Amino acid sequence: MKLEEKTYSPKTLESKWQEIWEANDLYKFDEEDKTKENYYSLVMFPYPSGNLHMGHMRVYTISDVISRYMRMQGKNVLNPMGFDAFGLPAENAAIERNVHPGEWTEKNIAHMRDEQLKRMGTSYDWDREVVSCREDYYKWTQYIFLKFYEKGLAYQKEAPVNWCPECNSVLANEQVEDGMCWRHTNTPVEKRMMRQWFLKITDYAEELLNDLDKLEHWPENVKTMQRNWIGKSFGATVSFPIDKSSLAMPDALSKEAVDIYTTRPDTIMGVTYMVLAPEHSLVKELTTPDREEAVAAYIKETSLKTEIERTAEGRKKTGCYLGSSVINPFTGEKVPVWIADYALVDYGTGAVMAVPAHDQRDWEFAKEFELPIKQVISPSNSSELDTEQERLSKEAIVEYGKLVNSDNEATGAKFNGLTTEEAKKEIVSWGEKQGFSKTKINYRLRDWLISRQRYWGTPIPLLEDGEGNFIPVEEKNLPVALPLDIDFAKEGTSVLRTNTDWNTVTSADDSKTFKRVTDTMDTFICSSWYFLRYCDPHNTELPFSKEKTFPVEQYVGGVEHAILHLLYARFFTKALRDCGMLNFDEPFTRLLSQGMVVKHSEKESKLVKMSKSKGNVVGTTEFFDKYGADAARLFILFAAPVTAEVEWTEDGAQGQFRFVNRIWRLYNQLVPEFKSSGLLKSYANGLKACLGAEFKFGKSIKELSEANQTILRSFHASLKAITTDLNPPNFSFNTAIARMTEFINAMYKYIIDKTQYSEEDQEVLSHVLSNFVIVLAPFVPHLAEELWHDLFDLKENDIENSVHKLSFPKFNNEFIERSTCNVVLQIKGKKVDVLELDKGLAKDELEKIALANEKMQKKIDGAEIRKVIVVPDKLVNVVV
């Protein structure tokens, strides 16, 4: 059959349906519907920095297909969207463009929402939109902060911070990448001491670690990253008394001992020096007068280094002797005290017992400054100690083994001959009895530094009374709104700190004056609870109602947020639960981390992540105008498995546009013929009873023509495979689209020589064509809606009969499995013939058929039949 060409105009078609869906609230979540199971489908909300490109669109498409499919599975789907709208990019843009960051942000939000996300054909419930920079959101961020403050989870302390001189703000550890600011990749991060606000995430370290085992549907690599970041370790704290005889003013000491934390107490008899972090509180007290100038110079030098530089392996070790010493309580020996940049004040206690014989970093330091190296572990045996000493001249011995040189007559400590594991327990136990050691579990995780010295963020809702006391802002006075009249002219200063009209507050009776805290919160605070606000976005009494909130069933977002965001959101969920605001422990039941989109960059001369800076972005507007959102969705889903990297190619995108056109032409050729016969209309009247597995023909499938049997089996086999592909945890959208392509190819083969259609043909085609449109709906929503309305002559505003309100078809195994089978006929094990027979024939029936077969009779040729072996549906073997 020659197919009629009919133009497919995606821009017009897609715009039409987007307007109709929005006008009719097609995707509105019905929180009153208790007849369906709730299903919370969520994609990580974007930062409105400007235009999205096709690389960004992958995550939204993946999440949208899941949402649409689950809705067609009978779930009450909550699929919201919002914007993570505070942050430095907006503030920097405001400074550059001389506009208010709110104006710049709102303009970007409008463009991303109306010109990009909606044009993508996404099924968001926009009535639940959340924008973190608006007062109706950050009022509740402040409310949550005050709840944490009341519970002792929010506190202030002086601490070394990561300072980005270009941002003029503090960065969290997670925002420092290779020693550089995560936003300004060429700007080294400095260390400074400042009073900062923290959240006590460490209170939840053990629960955050243990509950990873509950997250059965999270990628293992993400859970591993979180385990490593939490960094649980088992060890001991040991107090090293300060040697007062080494100090000029011993009575001025604020502490009697230096505490260290170690995971290797088995090596404590080999301590030959101690290292303090340059920022340690005891450095000044332990510095002798003759060492003050050198120590001050070294501290200044260290302050210019990033944490990455300080802890990098293999670099030349630097340090400075303080002139004082401490006493190893296990040996009674004096140990010199140094400062070194490889010791960090916020890890352990900020002090390190140095065992250069058994720690490579300590060994390198000892070699650099000619400090003693004392072996106390032998990985082989005592007869080879000479060989090991030779090895120690080249490197540290880090293997476990047995203790040597670990008896001390003066203190009575005797550990020689113990294995490493035995010694760890015995040494800590001995130290506990003496009163200077204690078993301790330590975590790499540090409390979350949330202070930022910038304008465009959530103000911390506290007042200072001038005497070092903080007073929470009363709930009735929330939000503490950002002032609108601001001046960014003074670069490098906090506009909140210099805005006295805003930061000065007088009591109701004018008797007292207070100062507002002028720090704003880290923007990751906003994204740590936004998913809860989606559940109850119009609540004016609380951030959300406990009764209306429920965990996200399927979360989709990049693996780059494994720590930055996901760990914080888990912490918030547990802390809010303990504040009585939630009744569940984990925010995200399932996590899907999509692979990134890459494209060849002329600048880099290689494939790199699609990015403006690389000059390899593909804009959404021009692509949608030319090829349509449906083609873009198909390409993004088809090019690779969801967790794999996708290479964007123009040819690949055009290929999916051609595939959409093939579907369009097929339907526009066949549907008019069916409409003229009236069969489709009568079929539509009983449609709900005829879909998928429930559909029954008036006769057995094996009574249909061979062509109709083939196309029916092709569709249901495809439907079965696609259903498997769409169900979690598979989400194999690429193979699902491949099966759709196979089916369309089969359809073209079916109709290619057709000049007329029998009633049986039309009945079979009505079944497969209408069901296939429903299968298309999650993938190409605009095309599917258009074809569906055209199939059944529905009015455009008839959204009650929208294809997106239908159930996903169910495959029928009866239509997939062939009703016949090939039975091999043999004589004495040698094949004589193969017959296509009905499945399920009885043994005696198969025996009769075999013996009556003309080829078998010729071979038997009157010989005596001794035995007949029958394997149903497989073979008949005659022994003569």
| pLDDT at res. 407 | 96
Q: How far is CA 744 from CA 540, 659, 714, 813, in A?
A: 52, 9, 10, 20
Distance separating alpha carbons of residues 361 and 350, to the nearest angstrom: 16
- Residue 120 confidence (pLDDT) above 80: yes
Take residue 757 and report the two structure tokens written for it.
Answer: 């259609």
| pLDDT at res. 471 | 95
Of 814, 813, 705, 714, which Cα lies nearest the Cα of 761? Answer: 705
Between 582 and 558, whose confidence is greater? 582
Band of pLDDT at residue 602, cut at 50, 70 and 90: confident
| pLDDT at res. 683 | 47
Q: What are the residues facing 257 on neighbouring strands?
A: 241
- Residue 689 confidence (pLDDT) above 70: no
Take residue 209 and report the two structure tokens written for it.
Answer: 């670690």
Q: What single letter denotes the amino acid at residue 38?
A: N
Q: What number of CA atoms fall less than 13 Å from residue 336's CA on the CB side?
A: 15
Distance separating alpha carbons of residues 263 and 424, to the nearest angstrom: 9
C-beta neighbour count of 259 within 10 angstroms: 16
Of 493, 548, 489, 482, which Cα lies nearest the Cα of 516? Answer: 482
- Residue 644 confidence (pLDDT) above 70: yes
Distance separating alpha carbons of residues 638 and 657, to the nearest angstrom: 12
Matching residue, tokens 């439907």: 719
Whether omega for the bond prior to residue 219 falls within 30 degrees of 0, making it cis, is no
Q: Which residues contact 633 (CB under 8 A, 6 or more apart)?
A: 61, 64, 65, 120, 121, 779, 780
Per-residue pLDDT of 536-567, as tens digits, reads 999 999 999 999 999 999 999 988 888 889 99
Residue 676: is it exposed, middle or buried by C-beta count within 10 angstroms (0-12/13-18/19+)? exposed
Take residue 122 and report the two structure tokens written for it.
Answer: 């996404």
- Residue 508 confidence (pLDDT) above 90: no
| pLDDT at res. 675 | 67
Q: How far is CA 280 from CA 53, 157, 287, 288, 344, in A?
A: 47, 14, 12, 16, 9
Matching residue, tokens 């690429």: 734
| pLDDT at res. 565 | 95
> Per-residue b/e over 263-299, b at no fewer than 16 CB within 10 Å?
ebbbbbbbbbbbbbbbbbebbebbbeeebeeebeebb
- Given a contact cutoff of 8 angstroms between Cβ atoms, the answer to whether 91 and 104 are in contact is no
Q: What single letter denotes the amino acid at residue 267?
A: T
> Per-residue b/e over 374-403, b at no fewer than 16 CB within 10 Å?
bbbbbeeeeeeeeebeeebeeebbeeebbb
C-beta neighbour count of 190 within 10 angstroms: 14
- Given a contact cutoff of 8 angstroms between Cβ atoms, the answer to whether 275 and 348 are in contact is no
Whether omega for the bond prior to residue 729 falls within 30 degrees of 0, making it cis, is yes
Take residue 632 and report the two structure tokens written for it.
Answer: 């873009």
Q: What are the residues facing 836 on neighbouring strands?
A: 822
Distance separating alpha carbons of residues 511 and 495, to the nearest angstrom: 27
- Residue 348 confidence (pLDDT) above 90: no
Q: What is residue 860's three-state secondary structure?
A: helix
Distance separating alpha carbons of residues 860 and 838, to the nearest angstrom: 25
Per-residue pLDDT of 363-418, as tens digits, reads 999 999 999 999 999 987 655 667 888 889 999 999 999 999 999 999 999 999 99
- Residue 681 confidence (pLDDT) above 60: no
Per-residue pLDDT of 631-641, as tens digits, reads 999 999 999 99
Q: Residue 2 phi/psi, 5° resolution?
A: -80, 125
Hey, CA dihedral for 184, 188, 194, 199, is it positive or negative? positive
Q: What single letter denotes the amino acid at residue 171?
A: L
Distance separating alpha carbons of residues 482 and 474, to the nearest angstrom: 17
> Per-residue b/e over 114-127, b at no fewer than 16 CB within 10 Å?
eebbbbbbbbbbbe
| pLDDT at res. 611 | 81
Q: How far is CA 542 from CA 475, 520, 584, 600, 672, in A?
A: 11, 22, 18, 49, 56
Take residue 437 and report the two structure tokens written for it.
Answer: 């050691």
Between 677 and 310, whose confidence is greater? 310
Of 837, 816, 853, which Cα lies nearest the Cα of 723? Answer: 816
Q: What is the DSSP letter of 316?
A: P
Take residue 94 and report the two structure tokens written for it.
Answer: 């405001």
Distance separating alpha carbons of residues 130 and 137, to the nearest angstrom: 7
As a whole-number percent, the residues of the chain with pLDDT over 90 amount to: 65
- Given a contact cutoff of 8 angstroms between Cβ atoms, the answer to whether 376 and 418 are in contact is no
Band of pLDDT at residue 453, cut at 50, 70 and 90: confident
Of 750, 738, 564, 766, which Cα lies nearest the Cα of 656? Answer: 738
Q: Mean pLDDT across the stretch 775-781?
A: 98
Q: What single letter denotes the amino acid at residue 266?
A: D
| pLDDT at res. 688 | 45
Of 661, 670, 786, 766, which Cα lies nearest the Cα of 711? Answer: 766
Per-residue pLDDT of 252-286, as tens digits, reads 899 999 999 999 999 999 999 999 999 999 999 99
C-beta neighbour count of 499 within 10 angstroms: 18
Segment (H or E) for 569:
helix 566-578
Q: Residue 419 phi/psi, 5° resolution?
A: -75, 165
| pLDDT at res. 422 | 96
Distance separating alpha carbons of residues 327 and 335, to the nearest angstrom: 6
Distance separating alpha carbons of residues 630 and 59, to the nearest angstrom: 15
Lowest mean pLDDT among 69-83, 591-605, 666-680, 728-742: 666-680
- Residue 680 confidence (pLDDT) above 70: no
Q: Mean pLDDT across the stretch 589-594?
A: 96
Measured at the alpha carbon of residue 626, what is the angle toward residues 623 and 629, in degrees to the nearest 5? 55
| pLDDT at res. 648 | 86
Band of pLDDT at residue 840, cut at 50, 70 and 90: confident
Compute the mean pLDDT over every residue in the chain, rounded to the nearest whole number.
Answer: 90
Rg over CA atoms, the chain: 36
Per-residue pLDDT of 5-59, as tens digits, reads 568 999 999 999 999 999 999 999 999 999 999 999 999 999 997 788 888 899 9
Measured between alpha carbons, how far apart are the two ends of the chain, in Å?
Answer: 55
Write the DSSP assignment of 194-237 as a string of letters.
EEEEEE-GGGGHHHHHHGGGG-TBS-HHHHHHHHHHH-EEEEEE
Band of pLDDT at residue 3, cut at 50, 70 and 90: very low
Between 56 and 736, whose confidence is greater? 736
| pLDDT at res. 685 | 45
- Given a contact cutoff of 8 angstroms between Cβ atoms, the answer to whether 69 and 63 are in contact is no
Take residue 384 and report the two structure tokens written for it.
Answer: 């080879």
- Residue 716 confidence (pLDDT) above 50: yes
Q: How far is CA 547 from CA 97, 538, 783, in A?
A: 45, 14, 39
Of 799, 770, 812, which Cα lies nearest the Cα of 787? Answer: 770
Q: What are the residues facing 273 on neighbouring strands?
A: 354
| pLDDT at res. 545 | 97
- Residue 682 confidence (pLDDT) above 60: no
Write the DSSP assignment of 502-548 as a string of letters.
HHEEE-TTSS-EEEE---EE-GGGGGGTHHHHTTSTT-SSSS--TTT
Q: What is residue 363's three-state secondary structure?
A: helix
Distance separating alpha carbons of residues 773 and 780, to the nearest angstrom: 9
Q: Mean pLDDT across the stretch 118-129?
A: 96
Give pTM, 2 decimals.
0.84
Q: Mean pLDDT across the stretch 164-192?
A: 77
| pLDDT at res. 841 | 86
Q: What is residue 607's three-state secondary structure?
A: strand
